[in-house]
Structure 1
Amino acid sequence: MGNILEKVTDWRVRSSRLLAVVDAFVVIWAVAGAYVARFGIESNTVVAGQDIPYVLFSAGLSLVWWIMLGAWNSRQIRVLGAGAEEYKRVVAASLWLFGLIATFSYVFRIDTARGYVGVALPVGVVGLLLGRWLLRQHLSVDRRAGGSMSRLLLLGGPSAVTHLSATLRSAKHAGYLPVGAYMPGTTATTVDDTALPVLGNSADTASILEAITSCRADAVAVSAGVQLHPQTLRHLGWELAARNIGLIMAPALTDIAGPRIHTQQVAGLPLMHVTTPTLEGGQRVAKRLFDILSSAIMLFLALPIMALVSVLIKMDDGGPILFRQKRVGMEGQTFTMLKFRSMVVDAERKLSDLEKQNEGSGPLFKMKRDPRITRVGGVLRRFSLDELPQLFNVFFGSMSLVGPRPPLPREVEAYERDVRRRLLVKPGLTGLWQVSGRSNLSWQDSVRLDLYYVENWSLAADLIILLRTVRAVFHSTGAY
């Protein structure tokens, strides 16, 4: 047991030291590479108008770059392993450094070689981001095996603790391991659907600190429903800071993306503002322009593949090449969605005979071995080639490149009130459902992902989903 605890707690020191070494290697490699590329190996070039050799300047630049990465807290443990904050800090520190160099050179009229700076900055930033990504993969593998985790005591009401525990256990890559629950003001002795021991329910700071010591927690997560006086929480925060134990506030907000949350201090009270993104004005125009340009380029590049697929479908059984189906789009408007036909010609008529073998959940019909799929259709579905004609839907405006899954009219008729929020935006050729398992997802997970997209959409998120789609297509996960 002692070895396991040591493995759990020491990962911070190991990761921090490893990251410092990786950063040092990358910045030296980037700066040295820029020097050689610009001046050559045996050059004795000095900074214009100065007596400082570029070799000495390069050594100083490497050191300052490494220091600035630390000053911007890019090696802070809480940002490692999950989220985009780590990457943002690396880029911000690097841009600030080279911005200061440019400003300093301009003010003091020092002619720094542009080719040298132009190589060092992009190469260094890409190398640093790659180093962070590789460490993140290492942490992810280690965390799936139970290592490199922060031990967490969950402080709150029974339902909130249950939800928080389940969420953290399903996202091990984030690095939080719930090890105990503390529920002040309740009489509960167990936590539903979890194996967490309940370590107490008293509302005094001393008892909470005793529970923290007994489970050897690295941090305390205060969730919704906690029955503690604000002054008690304040004292608890002081005691945790003295013991170098983290304090995490976990409000009862679910499926809210970070950019939507803003804090405001009012008389020492942190207020959280949650904004709702809307597709209006310039944002709507930008998304539409992105759809038009991207779909046009994709159609041009995919024309040879589409021509080959058309020939194969026609040779397979002589039936129609395209399959047209009514789908429901934004605000409930119906449109005709195009796909390459991957089933037999009378597939719709045979559907009623297969309803009893439905393997989908909710209103969805899915079968892993659907007898209606043709030989060519099986290959098309595996690599999502049957969906290429939907690029025409995107180009002409009935669909978007990224959005919720386009539903059938009979599916919409079975929608509950909340699910209808999926229709607030255009359906997408791809989306979170596509990159998260496709047909392997339950109906509830599919709805949750689509609603998350509707509530948190952004052009940056669309780009990330498109990049993840490429990986999902080649892995063929859930494609049937």
Structure 2
Amino acid sequence: MFKHWTNRWDELAVLVDTGAAFLAYLLAVHVYLTWINPDVTTVQLVTLYFSFSPVLLALNWLVLKFNFNGYSRRWNQLPAELKMLMVSNLESTLAMALLIFFMKATWFSRLIFVLMPLTAFTLQFGIHVVTKIGINRLRVGKKDLRRLVVMGYPKRVRIFSRTVDTVPQAGMVVVDRLLIPLGSAEAGQKALNTLRQLLHSTVIDTVVLALPVADDVMMAAIGMARQQGKEVRMILDEVGAYATKSALYDFYGNSVLVVNGVKSPQTARRLSKRLVDVVLSAVSLVLVSPVMAVIALLIKLDDPAGPVFFVQSRVGLNGREFPCFKFRTMVPNAEALRSQIEHLNVMSGPVFKVPNDPRVTRMGKFLRKTSLDELPQLVNVLLGHMSLVGPRPALPTEVERYGDDYRKRLSVRPGITCLWQISGRNDIDFDQWMQLDMEYIDSWSLGLDFKILVKTIPAVLQQKGAH
């Protein structure tokens, strides 16, 4: 479940960052109780805040460990570490908010949700900057540089070596470059002999393999380095360019690198998205259940011949079909009448939309304009068919007409709202709609989901693009 850590330096980094988050919580509580709202301060309230601190400590450690991408003053870039810290603070704050909600801890000030992550990130930022820059400046000469041997595909060996030369702040130096052209068994054997001599005769910290390299040469180099306790790093070939996120798994003795074609969230963020979906959909269903009951009654009064709900097969994650629930907005025989109005379709591509569709009932027009017809899809979210935010679920007949580029939108769970929903809906054409979905998939984050959810409310109220 947790990622394997490379060394004790990584463990120490997580503990230090967790300690910084814990200190930030104590500072936030102190500022709130002492400076912002001292009138509410009581011994009982102080006790409650400090009693909650061990829970918060464990929560931050867990989130940091889930998000951990490795921490090294040599290999990682500072911006990547800071991004990881920003995500961790956002997720821990969200988790804390959900925990407070379930505990019904009305004593907990909402200001802490603002003060704590800002203070935590500031402290962690300072620690990481000092670690990255301060230690490099304390080096004496080049005695502390990490010494590398780079071997493998000539072009990548040269590019990587030039990169090392141009970033002295990384604290590395290339001791030797061993070039192995593809298909040259002689060059491979010569490189292995040279590597063996270097490992015996000079100080080498890391062996860097620039792929592609023949399997026998690569395994021999790895075995040689590991036998002497040297670290091995690999520069991936073109396959790695597709790996926006990847993970290594053991599949019954086979090492499998999972390369995702989309920006796949890490385990913690994927679970966070699902947790948000479950909590918000469950709470929303409770809150809107009286509204849904009234809508159901009005539908039956308006058109008693048909059912209240319209259930239609839609395409979900990776092509899985599921029953999509909506309030019925059309006459019962709407599908049979479709052929008579095909010529009125105003949407490009495989999507079918008709302004002032004659099949829509009086109540249906109101439900569509206000998007209230989609409230039953909260059940789909709760069941895991859909997410609150994601590309709108398509019909199987529409998916059959997708090109290869558009099928990418099936790589995530469909949603109730999306960029299309807040960008004009039916006022934009099919290609623009698909591009918005691609944009969402490629730039997914929890922050983007919340931004879309917030913008959905005014978009619905303004009936933007609703036909």
Q: TM-score, with normalisation over the residues of structure 1?
A: 0.45
Q: TM-score, with normalisation over the residues of structure 2?
A: 0.46
